[in-house]
Chains A and B, each alone.
Chain A
Amino acid sequence: TQLLEQSPQFLSIQEGENLTVYCNSSSVFSSLQWYRQEPGEGPVLLVTVVTGGEVKKLKRLTFQFGDARKDSSLHITAAQPGDTGLYLCAGKSGGSYIPTFGRGTSLIVHP
């Protein structure tokens, strides 16, 4: 059972555009992580958010954890072709150390 719903599933945009990816659940998470996966590679951690309402920035990427700790968003400003990849959110609940992943958002940024 996928507890985390990601949207959109696919996103194809031009270089320079902004985009937002959403990760939603009916469950409360103690922490939420965003991973990025490139073709032929395993996922790599981008960020971990743990506090409701928390906002973290990583260069052009802004991550937000919802106040109720049930949802999160990833916003990319001025997307570049190097941002192309699969973005996965992963939540942990009830003190568990095991990440449960969403289905992912496949992003293609065209030059």
Chain B
Amino acid sequence: NAGVTQTPKFQVLKTGQSMTLQCAQDMNHNSMYWYRQDPGMGLRLIYYSASEGTTDKGEVPNGYNVSRLNKREFSLRLESAAPSQTSVYFCASSKRTANTEAFFGQGTRLTVV
């Protein structure tokens, strides 16, 4: 039972490079999320997708784009990486109900130099 799978687990980019973080879930969840986690800041929502075909901005969307490719997959793209985007990125998924549990991937540790 894979749950939420993120790739890659580690990545080093040079300033200005682009990359896409991949996320897939096998729990048939409608909703998917991208968070970033910085020391002392908890988890901050970058983008979310309520269902296939829809995406919305979260708290910190600047510098990122997302694609909900299908019900299973939700990717996060950095078009021109900046050192301020050095962080640990988590993808999560859940049912679209108020008290539901969010299931998280293992994270992608991204360093921009």
Interface string of A95-111 (1 = CB under 8 A from B): 11111111110000000
A-contacting 9-mer, from B14-22, B79-87, B103-111: B103-111
A47 to chain B, nearest CB (A): 10
Q: State whether B40 touches A9 (Cβ < 8 A).
A: yes
Given contacts A41-B107, A42-B4, A42-B92, contact A100 B100 (CB under 8 A): no
Does B33 sit at the interface, judged by CB under 8 A? yes
Does A84 sit at the interface, judged by CB under 8 A? no
Interface string of B55-96 (1 = CB under 8 A from A): 000110000000000000000000000000000001010111
Partner of B102, one of A9, A45, A95: A45
User: Interface residues of B: mostly helix, strand, loop or mixed?
Assistant: loop
Q: State whether B107 touches A31 (Cβ < 8 A).
A: no
Contact residues in A for B97 (Cβ distance below 8 Å): 97
Within 8 A of A (CB), among B17-54: 31, 33, 35, 40-45, 48
Interface residues on B, range: 20 to 34
Q: State whether A98 touches B45 (Cβ < 8 A).
A: yes
**A-B pairs with CB below 8 Å: how many?**
63
Given contacts A40-B107, A41-B106, A42-B105, contact A97 B98 (CB under 8 A): yes
Contact residues in B for A2 (Cβ distance below 8 Å): 41-42
Q: What's the Cα separation between A41 and B31 when bound, in Å?
A: 21
Residues of A within 8 A of B (CB): 1-2, 6, 9, 30-31, 33, 40-45, 48, 50, 88, 90, 92, 95-104
The 9 sampled A-B contact pairs (Cβ below 8 Å) are A2-B41, A42-B90, A88-B43, A90-B43, A97-B94, A97-B97, A98-B48, A101-B35, A101-B42
Residues of B within 8 A of A (CB): 4, 31, 33, 35, 40-45, 48, 58-59, 90, 92, 94-102, 104-107
